[in-house]
A = this chain, B = another copy of it.
């Protein structure tokens, strides 16, 4: 079991416009993607990995010119890893509207010759899946062995199972939800308001002005980050530890500062994470992705009935959730499981007792990794002529 090593992204250009759920379309776009492993002769061992809010096509491995830039699910995908690239041909694709390579708000709008900015159309999970399906067409993959994702990525996997039921044999939905709650939407809207009211945002057209709404992005990330961590984990890691007390290691040196600088470790941590994020992430992308999250609700066109929404699915499912995830709690995953069971779909459900909240889906919990590994063993056993892979 090792890392996949050095990888390189590829781009695929699409000249035919993509019709969007908003009623508009995106013409002339590019998708950036990476692949790991080898597609077998039968083209039956392909796995699509869908990414969440701040991730990308760079799922595993590193880059020759940036060895520290390790893929976001490198612990999950690689030779001998749960998603074993000695067996499977794994594709990571960057979603439209992202700031990591695929066409997004910072790219030039061919209609105006200027960056899209606010003119970039809002995207839905379904739009992303449409674009991913076109990429699969081009790669000659009629049916995936599995489509898999965590959080927002899990929504895409679920959407695949609904929109293209014949194009995936397995659907793997981790730490996700069939729709956001009012509280989820509320946190997203706080983040959006922070960005939209940042004077450096300039209504989305900040690229030409040479500004970046860093303060808004920082606050947006801070509030998001709180929802990714469990209360218990935050208490254990940070508690009420004071930053200076920790730095000096002197227990007595624990006085409050009585200003608005950093008193507590948790403040230092969150501000640092917020600052870092605001330096690499795009504000328009953040807004767009939070709206895609808010809008996802496949039961909506079925009068809110998730069972009916999932009636046409054909895949087998692995659904996994984490006990301390309060962003998308196990209860939300159970809604998916119950709707699938009502449809007599074959479902494996794992509710993993893990302390790390929503972020657990990215981390190395042995039970979690074991569940995914066992499930992929099953996927592998179902692939005919596996020796030829």
Q: Using CB atoms and an 8 Å cutoff, list the residues of chain A in contact with chain B.
A: 22-23, 121-122, 179-183, 185-187, 189-190, 192-194, 196-199, 215, 218-219, 222-223, 226, 229, 231, 234-235, 237-240, 254, 256, 258-260, 263-264, 266-267, 270-271, 274, 287, 291, 294-295, 297, 300
Contact = CB atoms under 8 A, between A and B. Distances in A.
B183 A294 contact: no
B218 A259 contact: no
B193 A222 contact: yes
A183 B226 contact: yes
A329 to B, nearest CB: 9
A116 to B, nearest CB: 14
Most buried by B among A190, A287, A297: A190
A189 B219 CA distance: 9
Contact of A186 (B22, B180, B181, B266): B266
Contacts of A258: 22-23, 121-122, 291
Contacts of A219: 190, 193-194, 197, 219
Query: Which 6 A-B pairs rank lowest in CB-CB distance, beginning with the nearest?
Result: A197-B215, A22-B258, A182-B238, A182-B234, A182-B266, A122-B258
Contacts of A199: 199
Given A240-B179, A260-B196, A189 B223 contact: no
Given A190-B226, A193-B222, A219-B190, A235 B291 contact: no
Contact of A193 (B238, B240, B274): B274
A254 B297 CA distance: 13
A194 B219 CA distance: 6
Given A194-B219, A219-B197, A226 B187 contact: yes
Most buried by B among A197, A235, A238, A240: A240
Secondary structure of the A side of the interface?
Answer: helix
Contacts of A180: 240
7 contacts: A122-B259, A181-B234, A182-B239, A187-B226, A193-B218, A223-B223, A264-B294
Nearest to A224: B190
A23 B258 CA distance: 9
Contacts of A183: 226, 229, 231, 234-235
A262 B235 CA distance: 35
A232 B106 CA distance: 39
Given A182-B239, A193-B218, 18 more contacts: A22-B256, A23-B258, A122-B259, A179-B240, A180-B240, A181-B231, A182-B238, A185-B264, A185-B267, A189-B267, A189-B270, A192-B260, A193-B222, A197-B218, A258-B291, A260-B287, A263-B295, A264-B294
Contacts of A300: 254
B121 A235 contact: no
A28 to B, nearest CB: 20
Contacts of A223: 187, 190, 223
B266 A185 contact: yes
Contacts of A263: 294-295
Contacts of A237: 182
A388 B239 CA distance: 51
A86 B376 CA distance: 73
Given A22-B258, A294-B264, A234 B179 contact: no
Nearest to A329: B231
Contact of A240 (B22, B182, B264): B182
A222 B192 CA distance: 11
